[in-house]
Amino acid sequence: MTATEPTHRSRARIAAPGEGIGLDELALATRNHGMPLEALRYDVTPPGLHYVLTHYDIPAVDPATWSLEVGGAVARPLRLSLDDLRRRPAVTSRVLLECAGNGRARYEPRPVSQPWLLEAVGTAEWTGTPLAPLLEEAGPADGAVDVAFTGADHGVERGVEQDYARGLPLAEAVRPEVLLVWGMNGMPLPPQHGAPLRLLVPGWYGMAHVKWLTRIEVLDRPFDGYQNTTAYRLKVDAAEAGEPVTRIAPRALLAPPGWPDFMTRERFLRPGPVTLTGRAWSGRAPIQGVEVSTDGGATWSPAEVAPADPAHPWAWRAWTFPWTAEPGSWELLARATDAEGSQPTEQVWNRQGMANNLVQRVPVTVLG
Amino acid sequence: MTATEPTHRSRARIAAPGEGIGLDELALATRNHGMPLEALRYDVTPPGLHYVLTHYDIPAVDPATWSLEVGGAVARPLRLSLDDLRRRPAVTSRVLLECAGNGRARYEPRPVSQPWLLEAVGTAEWTGTPLAPLLEEAGPADGAVDVAFTGADHGVERGVEQDYARGLPLAEAVRPEVLLVWGMNGMPLPPQHGAPLRLLVPGWYGMAHVKWLTRIEVLDRPFDGYQNTTAYRLKVDAAEAGEPVTRIAPRALLAPPGWPDFMTRERFLRPGPVTLTGRAWSGRAPIQGVEVSTDGGATWSPAEVAPADPAHPWAWRAWTFPWTAEPGSWELLARATDAEGSQPTEQVWNRQGMANNLVQRVPVTVLG
């Protein structure tokens, strides 16, 4: 199977107009975890509130017998235990992660996959060791181009049985911020986040941060595994090869103000001054600004964005916007801008619902 | 509004035949967290994998200024800081929790609410102080019948704006296993589980374990708040008052064997011997046994259930069942029995989808 000759099974399904969420999508939504948007209030997402997406089951990995293999096109293949890795220089880095499918469930028509609304985000303090020196010790061959990372999670997608594996260009893999991590928020990595070891590629969507890592293989050819050639591609027609999904596009999210209706999730607040708050980020270039609209996008005003913190270049940034809520119905929007552009206010559709950064819309009712 | 004269807004909505999951149900599914069923492998559910249901937003409570009020029909009203509570005798208890709505999404017709499949469970080590001595110090009045517990979480349900509040019969509230807890799995209670303090009522469905507790009020009359009189009732017709939801009915869950298809969640495994594993529990009486069927419920055989552990009377119990998987399609079922009966193999429907303990069905394909 190749990306340019898709079989029926290799095509992502697109929901019919008006088709409700199916039990298959629901099974994904109930097992994968979103970050409730009120948790935008925390600089570091508390344990258990960070988003989680696992393609297959969370594997049971015994850290005592686990080891990491580094091989392929290298001069000196390595095998490292968790203790070996922990003896290496350790760093802790505050990094935002976002799933490439965030926002997919509001696409029209809807690609049938994990149905995220907007909650597939989180920021954690990750502890691990830089990958570059380890690769350097292994000694990549002169013609090396990609590095393949394989996890212990096993499953099948569109007919292809596989261990989850992703390729990353060697030039990206040796960036200093790329880590092999065993700790999260000062604790051992939890099972659902890849224990005992995961890859961390700050700035990239979540699919690059391979969990339950077992093998790193340097390649002298482009990686042609399923997750790179079929799954994470930006394409409108099934027949096209599409562009690969890479870095996180800019996004601002607003913590919905007021209180919700349990079932409808409608929001209510009392009239008067209210400070709208949220976070903004981009994985491709620094955030230049955040704008807020309280009238459904008719007019926009700049929010106050917290200064970039040199200690945490890969974290999200807080923003605030003062609003005087007057009785009635309002639609609140926020959009981020980085050096490459702003979030779109109309959807830019692709058939797998990837890298969508359409602006968030938060309808609210201000009581009389 | 009373339970016997429901207005339109006070009725739970029932989905039409064939109606897919709506965006409102999805918004609940993506913000509330289920426990992926492979996590049945852990005696104690790791941090972040325990189920979470919050009716409204997770409130921001400052533990430094927070205090708990104990009042109502008592001789000596109390106000306690978190430090006051921590100075009291502390116990740690391993307790299973389950949401009263677990399994609702497979009901036919489907009550429209949080659409759990079967993952609204978890077992944690909770640390706190027994409630009974505290109530004793406050001195309930002679005619006291109920105790009302109010949280800091605020929202609206079917037109009723409220802080989440539940009443518990005084006789239940003074049982020795009922705790006020500030710790979970050896760590401070996380925000989504009720920080800084929640109620723990072992054996009862999750709605009783009030989170973000701010006030305990002893009542000389039955509590008539929304969550007891309207929300958590077992009724088939909207007009009936219905029975209250109380203790957890028996249930066995099977950790689905093999590996999944990412999208369809179909399960595959290779032929040969496989040990099926799972957990069983009941909040109303000890588990007497677990049976497994591998032929869709035509025949049943007893599983081996781990002995009851006197140290953890409120935890779930592990069970195993040896199976020789032969090529073909199979449907695996498990059912628990306690002193009051077994799980049903046909649904027992109620209009809010509460306390449903229909047996789980796990279709699997054994490869040739």
Q: A367 and chain B: CB distance < 8 Å anywhere?
A: no
Cα distances (angstroms) measured from residue B307 to each of A223, B45, B123, B290, B320: 50, 19, 17, 12, 12
**pLDDT value of position B6:** 39
The alpha-helical segments, DSSP class H, found in chain A are 23-31, 82-86, 131-138, 170-173, 226
CB contact under 8 A, A268 and B156: yes
**pLDDT value of position A215:** 98
Closest residue of B to A257, CA-based?
B57
**pLDDT-derived band of residue B9, with 50, 70 and 90 as boundaries?**
low
CB contact under 8 A, A36 and B57: yes
Name chain B contacts of A23, Cβ cutoff 8 Å. 21, 105, 117
Q: Which A residues in the span 175-194 are in contact with B, Cβ-Cβ below 8 Å?
A: 187, 190-193
Q: How far apart are the first and last CA of chain A?
A: 60
Cα distances (angstroms) measured from residue B322 to each of A337, B287, B302: 58, 20, 10
List residues bridging with A253 in a β-sheet.
Answer: A279
Per-residue pLDDT tens for A200-209? 999 999 999 9
Q: Which B residues in the span 262-321 are in contact with A, Cβ-Cβ below 8 Å?
A: 262-265, 268
**pLDDT value of position A9:** 58
B261 → closest Cβ in A22, A156, A265: A156
Per-residue pLDDT tens for A103-160? 999 999 999 999 999 999 999 999 999 999 999 999 999 999 999 999 999 999 999 9
CA distance B71 to chain A (A): 27
* CA proximity to A305, closest of A332, A276, A325, A283: A276
Half-sphere exposure of A73 toward its Cβ, with a 13 Å CA cutoff?
A: 16
**pLDDT value of position B2:** 36
Q: Pairing state of beta strands A301-302 and B160-169? A: unpaired
Question: In whole angstroms, what is the distance from residue B86 CA to residue B207 CA?
Answer: 24
**pLDDT value of position B33:** 97
**pLDDT-derived band of residue B12, with 50, 70 and 90 as boundaries?**
confident
Cα distances (angstroms) measured from residue B292 to each of B120, B252, B253, B305: 21, 9, 10, 11
- For residues B3 and B233, the answer to whether their CB atoms sit within 8 Å is yes
DSSP-assigned states of every residue in A45-106: PPTTTS-B--SSPPP---TTT--EEEEESBSS-EEE-HHHHHTS--EEEEEEEE-TTTTGGG
Q: Which A residues in the span 195-254 are in contact with B, Cβ-Cβ below 8 Å?
A: none
Q: Which A residues in the span 88-127 are in contact with B, Cβ-Cβ below 8 Å?
A: 105, 112-113, 115-117, 119
CB contact under 8 A, B36 and A192: yes
Per-residue pLDDT tens for B116-147? 999 999 999 999 999 999 999 999 999 999 99
For residue B5, pLDDT over 70 is answered with no
CB contact under 8 A, A119 and B30: yes
Q: B367 and chain A: CB distance < 8 Å anywhere?
A: no
Q: B60 and chain A: CB distance < 8 Å anywhere?
A: yes
SS3 B40: helix
Domains of chain B: 23-244 (3.90.420.10), 251-366 (2.60.40.650)
Name chain A contacts of B34, Cβ cutoff 8 Å. 30-31
Please, what's the b/e burial string for A180-202 (b: 16 or more CB within 10 A of its CB; e: otherwise)? bbbbbbeebbbbbbbbbbbbbbb
Closest residue of B to A116, CA-based?
B30
Per-residue pLDDT tens for B228-263? 999 999 999 999 999 999 999 999 999 999 999 999
Q: B26 and chain A: CB distance < 8 Å anywhere?
A: yes
Q: Which B residues in the span 6-25 are in contact with A, Cβ-Cβ below 8 Å?
A: 13, 19-25
**What does the pLDDT average to over A159-181?**
98
CB contact under 8 A, A49 and B156: no
Per-residue pLDDT tens for A222-234? 999 999 999 999 9
Question: In whole angstroms, what is the distance from residue B357 CA to residue B354 CA?
Answer: 9
CB contact under 8 A, A155 and B52: no
CA distance B346 to chain A (A): 19
A20 → closest Cβ in B19, B154, B156: B19
Return the amino acid letter for A13.
Answer: R
